[in-house]
Structure 1
Amino acid sequence: MPQTTERVSKSTTPLLHEVIPLVDVLTTGFKTAATDISLLKPVQVAAACDVQMLNRYYRKTDDLVMYHIAMSMTACYISTITANASWPSDWIEEAKHIFCK
C-alpha cells in the first residue's frame, strides 16, 4: 500500500483509469489488515471501516460519465483491472454491461 500512496503522490494529475486500480490495491490491503489476527483489534476495525468507505465511493463510479469515458478510452484496462482485483463474477458482468451500454 505504501507504493500506492507514493504513485498517486508523485503524479501531478492521477488519471481516472490509473486511480481505479490503485483503489483496488488499497481495498485488498485493508481487507487483509481487517482479518489479520496479529494486529490489534482497533487496527482491524479501522481497516474494516476503510474497506467500507472505499467501497462506498467505488460504487459511485457506476454513475460517473467521466469514469465510463475513461474506461472506454482505455478498454484494454478493463480485463486487467477486473482480473487483478479478483472481482466477483457479478461485478465483472456488471462492468461489462455498463461498458457496452
Structure 2
Amino acid sequence: MLQYALQHQKAIDTITQHRELGLRSFEMSDNKWCIVEQLQDVLKILKDAMLFFSRATPNLATVIPVMDLIDQTLATHTLNNKLLPSIHAAAGLAKKTLNRYYQFTDSSDVYRITMILHPRHKLSYFERANWGEDWIETALSLVRDKYSHSYSTSNNTEGETDEMVNLFENKSSSMVSHLFYSSTLTDPLL
C-alpha cells in the first residue's frame, strides 16, 4: 500500500488539495511523505518474507533463518542515521516484538535439532549466525543425547555413533539460493 501511495504521490497531492472535494484533512506534508518512503524501505523485509512463505508451507528450517534476517535488517535500520527518529523507534519496537517471540526458540530442543540435521544448515548455520561456541556445543550435545536415548541400539558401536555425529558437523555449501530471490548469492545467515 505504501509503495502504491508513493507511486501515485502527485495524484494524491492533487486530489487532497481541492477544497471542493472535502479531502484537505488527508493532505500530506513533505515530512509525512518522507516518513512513508522510509517506512516502506523498513517494511520491505516483512513484505518479502510474507511473499516467500505464501509460496509454500513454512517449516523450522526456513522460518528460523528468515527470522534471523528480519532481526538483522531491523537492527540495521535502528542504527541508520539517515532515517527519521520516528522510523528508528518503529524499527526498534518491531525488533523488540520479534525478539519477544524469537527467544522461545532458544529453549526449544526441536529448533536446535532441526537446524543441525537439515542438510543445508548443519552446525555451520550457527557458526555463520555468530552463535557462541558453548551454545553450539550444547546444541550438538543435545542431538547426540537424543540420538543415543531414542535411536541408538545396544548393537551400535562407539564408532558408529561418532560417524553419525560427523554427519552433523559437515559444512553446508556457502553458495545458496537467497531466501527471497532466485539468484544465487553468498548469504552469511543461510
* TM more than 0.5: yes
Question: Hey, what's the Cα distance between the residues in 2 that align with 1:30 and 1:63?
Answer: 23
What is aligned with 1:6?
A: 51
TM-score using structure 1 length: 0.75
Amino acid at match of 2:141: C
Match among 64, 74, 87 for residue 108 of structure 2: 64
- Unmatched runs of 5 consecutive residues or more in structure 2: 1-44, 143-190
Q: Percent identity?
A: 26
Which structure would you say has the larger RCO, counting Cα contacts within 8 Å and 6 or more residues apart? 1
Number of residue pairs the alignment of both structures matches: 96
Moved over 6 A (4+): none
Question: Hey, what's the Cα distance between the residues in 1 that align with 2:113 and 2:76?
Answer: 31
Amino acid at match of 1:30: L
Q: Give how far 1:61 is off.
A: 0.7
Q: Give how far 1:33 is off.
A: 1.1
Matching of residue 32 in structure 1 with residue 73 in structure 2: no
Matches within 5 A, 1:19-98: 19-74=63-118, 76-77=120-121, 78-83=123-128, 85=129, 87=130, 89-90=131-132, 92-98=133-139
Change (3 A) 1:81 1:43: same
Change (3 A) 1:57 1:97: same
What is aligned with 2:3?
A: none
Root mean square deviation, CA, Å: 2.2
What is aligned with 2:153?
A: none
Q: Give how far 1:30 is off.
A: 0.5
SS at match of 1:39: coil
Task: Indicate conservation of the 8 Å contact 1:71/1:99, yes or no.
Answer: no
Question: Hey, what's the Cα distance between the residues in 2 that align with 1:50 and 1:82?
Answer: 25
Change (3 A) 1:53 1:26: same
Larger Rg computed on CA atoms: 2
- Unmatched runs of 5 consecutive residues or more in structure 1: none
Question: Hey, what's the Cα distance between the residues in 2 that align with 1:30 and 1:6?
Answer: 18
TM-score using structure 2 length: 0.44
